Structure 1
Amino acid sequence: MPDEKNRAIAAAILPLVGGAQNFTSVAHCMTRLRLRLRDPSLVREEELKALPAVLGVVEDGTYQIVLGPGTVARVTPEFEALVARAPRTAEDLAERGAAIKAARSARNSTPFKFFLRRIANIFVPLIPALIGCGIIAGLNGVLTNLGLLPAVVPALAVMASGFMSLIAVFVGYNTAKEFGGTPVLGGAVAAIIVFPGVANFEAFGQKLAPGQGGVLGALGAAVLAVYVEKGCRRWVPEAVDVLVTPTLTVLVSGLVTLFGLMFVAGEVSTAIGDFANWLLAGGGAAAGFVLGGLFLPLVMLGLHQALIPIHTTLIQQQGFTILLPILAMAGAGQVGAAAAVYVRLPHNTSIRTTIRSALPAGLLGVGEPLIYGVSLPLGRPFITACVGGAFGGGFVGLFSMLGDTVGSTAIGPSGWALFPLLDGSMGLGATVAVYGGGLLVGYVAGFLATYWFGFTEEMLAELNTLQPVRGRTQPQDVRGPEGLPPVRDGAGRG
C-alpha cells in the first residue's frame, strides 16, 4: 500500500532527526523535507543517509532531507501526523489533556448537560455527610457482628441513620437554592415527605408511607415550589408578599406533593431499585462488564452526573448502592493502564514522573490526574483502561449474580477509599474480598491490555526516548523497539 510505504518512511526518519521535539517547523518543497532543528547534534546523519528513501541531506538554514519529487509530498503529511500524535513529555501530555478537557467542557454546554450539572450541584454538597454517616454505619455493623461495645452500638446506629432519615429535607433545600428559589421553602416542602403524619393520607387508593418518593420526590417538590414562588413574586403586591408568597408556595406545592408527587416518585424510586437488582442478578458479569467499561467515557461526556440521584435513591432504599462498586472498577483499569505506560516507557522520565505523582491519588479513586495527564492524551491507553474497568466490573457483577451483592453506603470515593464504606448481602468479609478481587482484576486487565495493545511501534519509537530532567539530558543512548538504532533525544523542553 502506498500510504503504508510513505508512513514507514516517515516513521524511519523521525527518530533519526532527534524525535518530534527536536524541531520547531516542518515544511517541504518540490523534492525536500525541510526541518527547523532545535539541536542539529541530535541528528544521526549517517544512518539517515543510509535509508533507501533518502537521496541526500542539505544544511542551509533548515535541515533538508532530499526525498525526490512526488515522494516528499506524500511523506510530509505522514511525518506531520506522526509528530501530532506523539506527545513526548509530561508537559506535552498536560497541554493535550487540558485541551481535551476544554473541548469536553465546550461540548457539555448543552441544555441537557447543564441540567445534569444542576443535579450534581444539588447532591455533591451532601457527599461529606453521606461518607461520614456511611463509615459510622460500617463501624456499627462491625461492632454488632463482633459483639463488641454493646453500649455504643445504639448510639452509632442513631448517628448513621439520622442524616439519611432527613436527607429529603437537605435535597429540597439545595434544589431550591440551585433553581433560584428560597432554600428554606424548598426544604419545608420536602420535609412533608419524611413527616410521619403522611401515613394518614391516601393517594391513588393507597396509603402513603413516610419517606415515600425519597430524594426524587424531594427534588420534584422543591422544583415545583421554586416555580410557584416565582409565579407569586410576579403578581403578589409587595406589601403582602412576605405573608402570601411563602404561604402559597408551601400550600400549593405541599398539596401536589401529598396527593400526587409522593406516589409517582415512590413508584419511580421502586422501579429504579428493582431494575438495578434485576440487572445485576440477571445480567451478572455481562452487565458489570458493560457498566465498568463505559464509566470512563460517561465521565468524559459528563453523563455520570445523572447517576448521582440513582445512587442516593438506592442508598435510601437498600442501605447501599450496588452500582458504585462496579463503576469504581473503571478507576482500577485506569491505574493498571498507567502502570503499563510506566513500564513500557522506561526511558521517558518526564511521563514516568507524572505517573508516580498521580498514581497514589488514582489508587484512592481520584482518577482525573491520570486521565487528563497520561492516558487520554496518549489515546490508546485510555481505551485499554476502559477494558481493564470492564473486566473488573464483570468480576464484581458475576458475584452479584451468584448472590454475593457488593454495595457502598455512600457515594463519592472509589478505589481503596471505598473499603470503609462497603456493605453487602453476604457479610463484610465476603464483600471486601469480592471488591478487592475486582480491583485486582481491573489492575491486571488494564495493565495487560495497555502493555500489549496500548502503543503502536511508532508511538514507542517516539515516546520511549530519553527526556530532559530538570533542564538536562541524560547522557546515555537507548535502543528502540524492534532493534531500531539508538535514539538520543535531549533537546526538548526542560
Structure 2
Amino acid sequence: MSDANRIIAEKVLAAVGGKENVTSASHCMTRLRLNLKDTSIPQKDEVTSIPGVIAVVESGGQYQIVIGQNVANVYPEFARLAGVATEKAIDENLDAPKVKEPLTLQKIGMNILDYMSGSVTPLIPAMITAAMFKTVLVVIGPDLFKWVSAESDTYILLNALYNAFFFFMPIYIGFTAAKKLGVSQVMGIFAGAMLVVPELVALDGQPFTVYGFIPTTMHNYAQTLLPVLLIVWLMSYLEPFFKKVIPTSLSTIFVPFLTMAVTVPFAFSLLAPLGNILGDWIGNALIAFNDAAGFLAVAVLAAAWCFLILTGMHHVLIFFGISSIMTNGVDTFVLTAGGMAQFAAFGMAIGAFLRMRKKEEKGLALGYVVSCLLGGITEPVLFGVGIRFRRPFIALAIGGFVAGLYAGITQVGVYVAGATNVLMLLGFLGGGMSNMVQGTIACLISLTVTALLTYLFGFEKNNPVLIKD
C-alpha cells in the first residue's frame, strides 16, 4: 500500500476515536463502512477535512466515510491499523446503540430500504458484466451489424452469459441478503436456489402441496428480487433460535436443516407468492405513474434520480426496470430516466471542473469526471460537488428534467441494461438507429444543460474554489 493510503487510513482512524472505538469495518465501491461503539466521538467537519475524504454519511447504524474508488486501497490499511479483519464476526453488544430507538413507521421504512439496498448493491459488478455481454450481442447480432446469426454458437454463448446472472438472480440475492442480515450465506444461496430448481419452475401455475398437506400454487421465481428477500428475512429469525436451543455438538447438522425445514412451507405457501404480488404492485404502480403522467413521468424521475442514489432506492428501481426489459423487451421509463440522470451527473462533474480555479479542487473535480465517464460511479461527484456546494444539485435536477422531457416525448427506450458509464448509450441500440439517435441526443442535452448551469450558477462568486492558486 502507498504511503498516501496509509496516511488517509491513519487520519480517519484517529478522527473516529481510534481502534478502541471501531468494532468492525467493511467497504463498498466508494465508502468505508464502520461500526463504532460511540458514534458521537467523530466530528463530521474533522473527518471531511481529511484529504481524500469526500463526505460522511450515517445510515443503517453505520458510520460511512465516502472516499470514492480509492476506498479499496485505503480499506486494507485501515483494517490493519484498527485491528479488525475483513470478515471478522463481532460481538453484537459492542456496536449496539446505548438507547434503543423507537420503532416508528419511518424507522421501519428506512430499515426495509437499507436491507434491499444492502442486498442489491454488491451485485452491481455481476449485473453490469452480464449486461455487457448482452450489449456485445446486440451490436454483433441480427439487431445491428448482423455479424452473427441467432443460431450461431457465439450468439447462444453470449445470451447464456447474460442469463447466468439474470435468470439465477434469486441465488445471488440469497447470498447477499444472508450476508446483510448475518445469516449463513451458504443457506442463503440454498434459499435462492430452491426457487429456480427446474422441476419446480416447470410447475409454474400448477397446484402443489408442501410436505404433502400444505396447499399452494407453484410459480416461476427466476429473475425475481423480493421473494428471496422475504425468505432470508424469515431465516434471520429462525437460525438464531435453533442455534440457542440445539446443543453445539449437534448444531452443524441440525441448525441449517431445521432452519430450512421450517422455512420451506412458509417460503412456498406465503413469502415467495407474497414477494411476487408485492413486485407486481410496485411494477404496476410505476407503469400507472408512467401512463398517467406520460412523458412528464420520465422527466420527473430523471430529475429525482440522483437524489434517490443518496438513499440507495435507485438500486431497487433498476431491478424493476430490468424486469420490464425481461417482460417487454424494452423499458421506456425507469432505465431511460436513470440514463438521463447519469449523464446529468457527468455534466455536473464537467461543469465543476471547468469552473473551479483552485488547483487542488480542480484536481478533485477531474477525478470526479473520470470516475463518472469511465467508471460510471456518480457518488463522488454527488457528495464532492452536489452536497458540498448545494447549487449544482439544482443544475443537476434541471438538466435531468429537460433531457427526460425530450426522451419521454420521443419515447426513447432502453433495450439492454448494464453499463453506467458512457457505454450506456449502447443500451439504446436494440430499438434501431432512430432510438439510438434520439437517446444519444437526450443524453447530450442532459450533460450539456447541467454542465452549463453548473458552470454559470453552481458556485457563489466569492467561493474559495474559484480563486486560482
TM over 0.5: yes
Matched, 1:419 2:425: yes
Structure 1 partner of 2:138: 141
Structure 2 partner of 1:295: 305
Whole-Å separation in 1 of the counterparts to 2:156 and 2:223: 27
> Can you list the C-alpha shifts for 1:3-33, whole angstroms capped at 9, x where unaligned?
xxxxxxxxxxxxxxxxxxxxxxxxxxxxxxx
Q: Contact 2:371–2:377 (CA<8 Å) still a contact in 1?
A: yes
Matched, 1:217 2:227: yes
Whole-Å separation in 1 of the counterparts to 2:268 and 2:429: 33
Q: Contact 1:332–1:392 (CA<8 Å) still a contact in 2?
A: no
Whole-Å separation in 1 of the counterparts to 2:427 and 2:438: 14
Distance 1:243 1:96, change over 3 A: closer
1:262, distance to aligned residue in structure 2 (A): 2.4
Matched, 1:231 2:247: no
Structure 2 partner of 1:156: 158
Whole-Å separation in 2 of the counterparts to 1:232 and 1:358: 48
Whole-Å separation in 2 of the counterparts to 1:180 and 1:465: 47
Structure 2 partner of 1:181: 183
Matched, 1:101 2:55: yes
Distance 1:137 1:202, change over 3 A: same
Whole-Å separation in 2 of the counterparts to 1:116 and 1:293: 20
Q: Which moved more, 1:263-272 or 1:331-340?
A: 331-340
Matched, 1:467 2:468: yes
Whole-Å separation in 2 of the counterparts to 1:308 and 1:360: 23
Larger radius of gyration: 1
Distance 1:129 1:320, change over 3 A: farther
Whole-Å separation in 1 of the counterparts to 2:465 and 2:258: 68
Whole-Å separation in 2 of the counterparts to 1:291 and 1:108: 28
Structure 1 partner of 2:447: 443
Whole-Å separation in 1 of the counterparts to 2:179 and 2:228: 13
Whole-Å separation in 1 of the counterparts to 2:60 and 2:282: 31
Whole-Å separation in 2 of the counterparts to 1:263 and 1:377: 44
Structure 2 partner of 1:371: 382
> Can you list the C-alpha shifts for 1:196-251, whole angstroms capped at 9, x where unaligned?
33315448998423226822101111222232222212222334333332222222
1:407, distance to aligned residue in structure 2 (A): 4.8
| Letter in structure 2 aligned against 1:126 | L
Q: Contact 1:135–1:420 (CA<8 Å) still a contact in 2?
A: no
* Aligned counterpart for 2:199 among listed residues 197, 200, 216: 197
Whole-Å separation in 2 of the counterparts to 1:128 and 1:343: 31
Q: Contact 2:170–2:222 (CA<8 Å) still a contact in 1?
A: no
Note the residue ranges of structure 2 that are not aligned, 5 or more in a row: 1-45, 64-106
SS at match of 1:209: coil
1:168, distance to aligned residue in structure 2 (A): 0.7
Alignment of 1:325-474 (within 5 A): 325-341=336-352, 348-364=358-374, 365-400=376-411, 404-410=412-418, 413-422=419-428, 427-455=431-459, 459-461=460-462, 463=464, 466-468=467-469
Whole-Å separation in 1 of the counterparts to 2:293 and 2:264: 40
Q: Contact 1:118–1:178 (CA<8 Å) still a contact in 2?
A: yes
| Letter in structure 2 aligned against 1:356 | L
Structure 2 partner of 1:12: none
Structure 2 partner of 1:262: 272
1:338, distance to aligned residue in structure 2 (A): 4.3
| Letter in structure 2 aligned against 1:102 | V
SS at match of 2:410: helix
Identity of aligned residues (%): 21
Whole-Å separation in 2 of the counterparts to 1:205 and 1:105: 41
* Aligned counterpart for 2:284 among listed residues 274, 277, 293: 274
Distance 1:186 1:379, change over 3 A: closer
**Considering only aligned residues, what root-mean-square deviation do their CA atoms show, in Å?**
3.6
Q: Which moved more, 1:295-304 or 1:262-271?
A: 295-304
Q: Contact 2:305–2:338 (CA<8 Å) still a contact in 1?
A: yes
Whole-Å separation in 1 of the counterparts to 2:405 and 2:62: 29
Note the residue ranges of structure 1 that are not aligned, 5 or more in a row: 1-91, 469-494
Q: Which moved more, 1:96-105 or 1:253-262?
A: 96-105
> Can you list the C-alpha shifts for 1:392-443, whole angstroms capped at 9, x where unaligned?
222223334xxx4325423xx424132344566xx24344323322211112
> Can you list the C-alpha shifts for 1:304-332, whole angstroms capped at 9, x where unaligned?
45546545655655566641331232332
Q: Contact 2:340–2:400 (CA<8 Å) still a contact in 1?
A: yes
Distance 1:113 1:295, change over 3 A: same
Whole-Å separation in 2 of the counterparts to 1:292 and 1:433: 19
Q: Contact 2:116–2:316 (CA<8 Å) still a contact in 1?
A: yes
| Letter in structure 2 aligned against 1:155 | L
Whole-Å separation in 1 of the counterparts to 2:230 and 2:334: 23
Alignment of 1:310-321 (within 5 A): 310-311=320-321, 313-314=323-324, 317=327
Whole-Å separation in 1 of the counterparts to 2:208 and 2:223: 14
SS at match of 1:194: coil
Q: Contact 1:419–1:432 (CA<8 Å) still a contact in 2?
A: yes
Bigger relative contact order, structure 1 or 2 (CA pairs below 8 A, ≥6 apart): 1
1:108, distance to aligned residue in structure 2 (A): 7.9
* Aligned counterpart for 2:251 among listed residues 238, 241, 245: 241
SS at match of 2:122: helix
TM-score scaled to structure 1, two decimals? Answer: 0.63
Whole-Å separation in 1 of the counterparts to 2:350 and 2:178: 45
Q: Contact 2:171–2:193 (CA<8 Å) still a contact in 1?
A: yes
Structure 1 partner of 2:40: none
Whole-Å separation in 2 of the counterparts to 1:192 and 1:353: 50
Whole-Å separation in 2 of the counterparts to 1:236 and 1:323: 47
* Aligned counterpart for 1:323 among listed residues 334, 347, 352: 334
| Letter in structure 1 aligned against 2:424 | L
Whole-Å separation in 2 of the counterparts to 1:126 and 1:297: 21
| Letter in structure 2 aligned against 1:120 | S
Alignment of 1:39-118 (within 5 A): 95=49, 101-102=55-56, 112-113=109-110, 115-118=112-115
Whole-Å separation in 2 of the counterparts to 1:136 and 1:251: 38
